[in-house]
Structure 1
Amino acid sequence: MRALIVVAHPLEESFTHAAAARVKATLERRGLAVDLIDLYADNFDPRLTAAERRAYFTAPHDYSAVAGYADRLRLAQKLVLVFPQWWFDAPAILKGFFDRVLAPGLAFTHAPGGGLTPLLTQIDALWVVSSTGAPWWAARLVMGDPVRRQIARGVKPWICPKATFRMLTLHNMDRFTPAKGSVFLDRLEQAFQRF
């Protein structure tokens, strides 16, 4: 079983990286092969190029500029996204990963007559580990949990519709304490025992 973790945070000492490390260690202890993509360390360019956009509806789609990521995604049976929420959204670099790597010919094909046909059907779990400065009630009740909706309703159904989905979020990071972080990391370890 192979899991792919995609991390999006510019600071190596961030809580996001600590969470990714805990998830990776937990999965490896369970015997899973784990591949980790650190988008910032890779200096991933999130900008969809003019050529990529022009070719979006042309088969076969040319995703040679992101072929290494495409190959790693094809091998994944489980996908974990680890990132902070900034302004109630995923970091731009992760959105760029969606735009450039979750592309036609790799993540889906355009179905005749409209719609999309998912291609990453080998992925049986798509989980999100996130944090936000806002308290839970602001993220959910005031903003409507936009990141959860984007990934659960706007990404997963079109690339791996049968995958399980779970989102684990540490809220109120603006009032972060090491004790609060430790409790959340332990919660991640317990959750990923059943991933």
Structure 2
Amino acid sequence: MKILLVGATGTIGSAVRNELTLRHEIITAGRNGADIFVDITSPESIKNMYQTVGKVDAVINTAGNVYFGSLSELTLENNEITIQSKLKGQMNLVLLGLNHVNDKGSFTLTTGITMDDPVVGGASAAMACGAIRAFVQSAAIDMPRGIRINNISPTVLEEAIEEYGPAFPGIVPVSGKKVAQAFRKSVEGAQTGQTYTLYC
């Protein structure tokens, strides 16, 4: 398959790339160190990416910024960080990418544990992740040409526990390799409208 991987240089993206590159042609996209530049907060940037890449069999997104902070610090501007990237950015990858994905291809988006297991400071992240899960479930029954769509919802990764661990007290991390298998299942399998959770 020809797979477009957005966010390939991040912790999750790197693990997914390492797993899938063994069997597929991977084209990476992102803001740094990728084959193609894309800023998912910009519809024009997304359009330019798809025009450059052409037709693909699958689109995977592991990118998406979220604001973490207490509710009292969750200003409209801070919340927009999450909305523009994690929420609208992922939805726009699908809406603008439908005509660039081959018949019976797939989209795989990324959510996260905050939508199911709340943590202090995670309200904005939970909002976007929950919305993406609902979008995936609903879009799956309306996707054209047999295209599938799923989302992967991991907890904090072992590889990032030093940086993010304090925000997730008592939560058991998972390995990037295990998370990458869920992305493989989404891309190479046949299910659609699913949320693959990796919470332990």
Percent identity between matched residues is 12
Deviations 1:9-45 (A, max 9, x none): xxx6xxxx1110110110111x200011114663637
Aligned AA (1:67): N
Cross-structure match for 1:127: 108
Structure 2 CA distance for partners of 1:75 and 1:47, relative to 1, 3 Å? closer
Deviations 1:82-141 (A, max 9, x none): 1346369955246357548844xx635xxxxxxxxxx63435222223435x262448xx
In structure 2, C-alpha distance between the alignment counterparts of 1:21 and 1:176, rounded to whole Å: 25
Aligned AA (2:24): L
Return the match for 2:151 from 139, 156, 167: 167
C-alpha displacement at 1:176, in angstroms? 6.8
Residue 51 of structure 2 corresponds to residue 34 of structure 1:
no
Deviations 1:40-69 (A, max 9, x none): 663637345xxxxxxxxxxxxxx7994343
**Greater share of residues in helix:** 2
In structure 2, C-alpha distance between the alignment counterparts of 1:98 and 1:22, rounded to whole Å: 23
Return the match for 2:62 from 72, 82, 89: 82
TM-score normalised over the length of structure 1: 0.56
Q: CA-atom RMSD, angstroms?
A: 4.2
1:134-145 alignment runs, 5 A limit: 134=114, 136-138=116-118, 145=130
In structure 1, C-alpha distance between the alignment counterparts of 2:115 and 2:153, rounded to whole Å: 10
The answer on whether the counterparts of 1:46 and 1:96 sit within 8 Å (CA) in structure 2 is yes
TM-score normalised over the length of structure 2: 0.55
> 1 or 2 for the larger relative contact order (CA 8 Å, sep ≥6)?
1
- From the CA coordinates, give the structure whose radius of gyration is larger: 1
1:35-184 alignment runs, 5 A limit: 35-39=27-31, 42=37, 44=39, 46-47=41-42, 66-72=47-53, 74-84=54-64, 86=66, 92-93=84-85, 95-96=88-89, 98-99=91-92, 102-103=95-96, 107=98, 120-122=101-103, 124-131=105-112, 134=114, 136-138=116-118, 145-154=130-139, 160=144, 162-171=146-155, 174-175=167-168, 180=173, 183-184=174-175
